[in-house]
């Protein structure tokens, strides 16, 4: 029998390869916004904010300086490429996780590809709120393992400050969020020990009203959630509801991922977690008996930076020498959607 001829353009048979992190980078905007600054703008106090969230400062974009989601993403990706010793043209695909795209069309990732000089490679935006970067890591891994792509930039960038109100009417959300971007370059490698060990991606759209940004008034909103004109394009959040959801879900999804991998929490070298609230992170540390060194917290300096939060932590930890080749690292996030997920790697 003659062999079946190859179909031109067919998807390649998945090769036996691993996936590695080749470089990481991050960028913060220029405008610091401390709790003392917020005290001048709204009825709040440093003590209230620190006690409830652990946040002392954050950075927000300065539009007068031309800063935006795109410029932050560009800076972070350039730094990641430099660290990887790669040219923009070495990339095959860019995945940009963001919920604050410059416009709804075009995808901000396309402009990012053009701005860094990556040519006409594929570029997609992923919208999964604070889970965007973790979801995108899992997606990029699968695309590389399939043999379709060899080098993918995964970027998380958000400027939620544009959806916040910096006066007393917006104090329950304005204190939480900061702007930032982080990027990682994933590449195929012959070292099959490197790559994803286990992952989880979940959503519960029935709870969407716990965290949302109304775009117009002509939609169906559940009773009690109908926005007034001043709520348009402003973050609406059920703080207590999200807090309760996060404390439980955060630990459960870590446990589920450890179980899937057949590992114990003590086998993990570093937990790189979405920074939503220092109390939520401390609760996870306590549940798994982790030391401060193993579950990183930087929310005091940068606030909750949405999809940028996980790659920003990754970059800081890598630069500090606290994450290195050979480590087992679990990325964890949750957020609007509601969404939650993990990505456990052997680096």
Q: Which of 22, 70, 186, 242 binds ligand COA (CB under 6 A)?
A: 242
Q: Which of 166, 234, 239, 322 binds ligand COA (CB under 6 A)?
A: 239
Three-state secondary structure of 41-55: HCCCCHHHHHHHHCC
Nearer to ligand COA, 56 or 322 (CB): 56
> Of 35, 274, 277, 313, which one is the catalytic site residue?
274
Token readout for 121 is 């490679």
Does 202 engage in binding with ligand COA (CB under 6 A)?
no
Nearer to ligand COA, 244 or 259 (CB): 244
Q: Which of 39, 48, 166, 256 binds ligand COA (CB under 6 A)?
A: 48
Shortest Cβ distance from residue 239 to ligand COA (Å)? Answer: 3
Does 52 engage in binding with ligand COA (CB under 6 A)?
yes
Residues 338, 220, 243: CA angle, nearest 5 degrees:
25
Nearer to ligand COA, 21 or 245 (CB): 245
Alpha carbon of residue 208 to chain centroid: 19
Choices 81-89, 232-240, 250-258, 292-300; region in contact with ligand COA by CB under 6 A: 232-240
Does 282 engage in binding with ligand COA (CB under 6 A)?
no
The question of whether 85 is a catalytic residue gets the answer no
Q: Which of 276, 318, 339, 343 binds ligand COA (CB under 6 A)?
A: 276
The question of whether 193 is a catalytic residue gets the answer no
Report whether the peptide linkage leading into residue 338 is cis, meaning its omega lies within 30 degrees of zero. Answer: yes
Does 243 engage in binding with ligand COA (CB under 6 A)?
yes
C-beta nearest to ligand COA: residue? 239
Nearer to ligand COA, 152 or 278 (CB): 278
Give pairs for 316-321: CB < 8 Å, separation 24+.
316/26, 317/270, 317/272, 318/24
Query: How long a stretch of residues is the chain?
Result: 347
Does 44 engage in binding with ligand COA (CB under 6 A)?
yes
Q: Rounded to whole angstroms, how far apart are CA atoms 2 and 228? A: 70
Choices 1-9, 93-101, 167-175, 295-303; region in contact with ligand COA by CB under 6 A: 167-175
Q: Rounded to whole angstroms, how far apart are CA atoms 246 and 336? A: 11
The answer to whether 194 touches 20, Cβ cutoff 8 Å, is yes
Q: Which of 311, 335, 337, 341 binds ligand COA (CB under 6 A)?
A: 335
Q: Which of 175, 197, 170 is nearest to 278 (CA)?
A: 175
The question of whether 274 is a catalytic residue gets the answer yes
Nearer to ligand COA, 166 or 243 (CB): 243
Does 78 engage in binding with ligand COA (CB under 6 A)?
no
> Of 130, 131, 273, 313, which one is the catalytic site residue?
130
Residues 6 or more apart whose CB falls under 8 angstroms from that of 19 comprise: 140, 141, 144, 145, 186, 187, 188, 189, 194, 195, 196
CB neighbours (10 Å) of residue 60?
Answer: 25
Shortest Cβ distance from residue 226 to ligand COA (Å)? Answer: 20
Does 165 engage in binding with ligand COA (CB under 6 A)?
no
**CA separation, residue 43 to residues 162, 167, 168, 175, 240 (Å):** 20, 8, 5, 11, 20
Q: Which of 120, 216, 240, 291 binds ligand COA (CB under 6 A)?
A: 240
Q: Which of 20, 31, 79, 171 binds ligand COA (CB under 6 A)?
A: 171
The DSSP secondary structure of 32-43, one letter per residue, reads: EEEHHHHHHHSS
Give pairs for 281-289: CB < 8 Å, separation 24+.
281/54, 283/247, 283/250, 283/251, 284/250, 284/251, 284/254, 284/332, 287/251, 288/251, 288/254, 289/265
Tell me which residues are annotated as active site: 130, 274, 304
Give contact residues for ligand COA (rule: CB under 6 A): 44, 48, 52-53, 130, 171-172, 175, 237, 239-240, 242-243, 246, 276-277, 304, 335
């Amino acid at each position: 029998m003659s062999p079946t001829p190859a179909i031109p353009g067919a998807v390649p048979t998945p090769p036996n390869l691993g996936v590695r992190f080749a470089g990481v980078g991050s960028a913060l905007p220029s405008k610091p916004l401390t709790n003392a600054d917020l005290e001048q703008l709204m009825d709040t106090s440093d003590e209230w904010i620190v006690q409830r969230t652990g946040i002392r400062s954050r950075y927000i974009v300065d539009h007068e300086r031309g800063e935006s989601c795109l410029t932050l993403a560009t800076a972070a990706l350039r730094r990641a490429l430099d660290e990887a010793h790669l040219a923009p043209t070495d990339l095959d695909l860019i995945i940009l996780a963001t919920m604050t795209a410059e416009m709804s069309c075009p995808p901000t990732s396309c402009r990012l590809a053009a701005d860094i000089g990556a040519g006409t490679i594929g570029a997609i935006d992923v919208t999964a709120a604070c889970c965007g970067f973790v979801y995108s890591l899992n997606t990029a891994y699968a695309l590389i393992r399939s043999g379709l792509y060899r080098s993918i930039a995964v970027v998380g960038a958000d400027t939620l400050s544009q959806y916040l109100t910096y006066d007393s009417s917006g104090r329950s959300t304005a204190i939480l969020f900061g702007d930032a971007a982080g990027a990682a370059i994933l590449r195929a490698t012959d070292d099959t020990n490197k790559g994803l060990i286990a992952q989880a991606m979940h959503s519960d759209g029935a709870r969407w009203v716990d965290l949302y940004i109304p775009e117009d008034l002509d939609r169906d909103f559940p009773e009690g959630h109908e926005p007034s004109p001043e709520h348009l394009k402003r973050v609406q959040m059920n703080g207590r509801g999200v807090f309760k959801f996060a404390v439980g879900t955060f630990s459960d999804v870590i446990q589920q991922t450890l179980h899937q991998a057949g590992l114990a929490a003590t086998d993990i070298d570093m937990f790189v977690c979405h920074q939503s609230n220092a109390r939520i992170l401390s609760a996870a540390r306590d549940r798994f008996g982790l030391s401060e060194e193993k579950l990183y917290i930087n929310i005091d300096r940068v606030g909750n930076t949405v999809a940028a939060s996980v790659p920003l932590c990754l970059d800081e930890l890598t630069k500090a020498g606290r994450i290195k080749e050979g480590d087992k690292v679990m990325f964890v996030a949750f957020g609007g959607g509601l969404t939650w997920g993990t990505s456990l790697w052997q680096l």
